[in-house]
Amino acid sequence: MLSLLRRVESRILILVIAAAGALWGFFNIASEVTEGDTSVLDRRILLALRNPANPTDPIGSRSFEEAMRDVTALGGFTVITLVTVVGCVMFLLHRRARHALIFAGTVLLAQVSGQLLKTHYDRPRPDLVPHGSYVYSASFPSGHSTLSAAMYLTLAMLVASLELHRGAKVMVYFLAAGLVLSIGFSRVYLGVHWPSDVLAGWSLGAAWALAAFLVLLHVGKAEDIVGKPATAPGES
């Protein structure tokens, strides 16, 4: 038991450092954006995804452009809400109320924090190219990137915590990471976000996912301590 608790404590320490690093990354990007230091690179990357002779035309075929709209929808509010509800119901059906609560709480906090930060920074959307998707809010940080990182990474972590097969754990994490990266790329490809918006969203969402993992480990450790039988005098 002591060895297990020490391993859990080590993992908690690593997660605290990682979450702090993700938050530092977000606020560092925010500082650079506020000072205008990312504008040149943002514009260069955005235009690199467009036809040089016609900036209104994204590179790639029409079918690829449509595919990017499908991918970007995976990080939209509707899909995120549906996946969160279904995920919570499945956890509850398997009597994993703690997992359901952590999952729902993480997604909700990511949504609220993202919207508050959008209001605070109030960065305009890219105006270099036509938007390939409907937008109605400020640009920084990317809401799709924030929510997809928080939701898919947290879901992967919660599922992996219940999975015994190592290969399945790895597959779940790779699938989640692939979805998060693809959704972020689609936002820049469709011209609705600057690259720095997406990078900041990933950092913020990852911070929430790491915080969720931290809570899961901390609660599990507390239950182990509380549930540990008392040792009678003379027993080792």
Which residues are annotated as catalytic?
144, 193
Residues 6 or more apart in contact with residue 230 via CB below 8 angstroms: none
Query: Are the C-beta atoms of residues 220 and 5 closer than 8 Å to each other?
Result: no
18 φ, ψ (degrees, to nearest 5)? -65, -45
SS (HEC) of the chain: CHHHHHHHHHHHHHHHHHHHHHHHHHHHHHHHHHCCCCHHHHHHHHHHCEECCEEEEECCCHHHHHHHHHHHHCCCHHHHHHHHHHHHHHHHHCCCHHHHHHHHHHHHHHHHHHHHHHHHHCCCCCCCCCCCCCCCCCCCCCHHHHHHHHHHHHHHHHHHHHCCCHHHHHHHHHHHHHHHHHHHHHHHHCCCCCHHHHHHHHHHHHHHHHHHHHHHHHHHHHHHHHHCCCCCCCCC
The Cβ-side half-sphere exposure at 15, using a 13 Å CA radius, reads 18
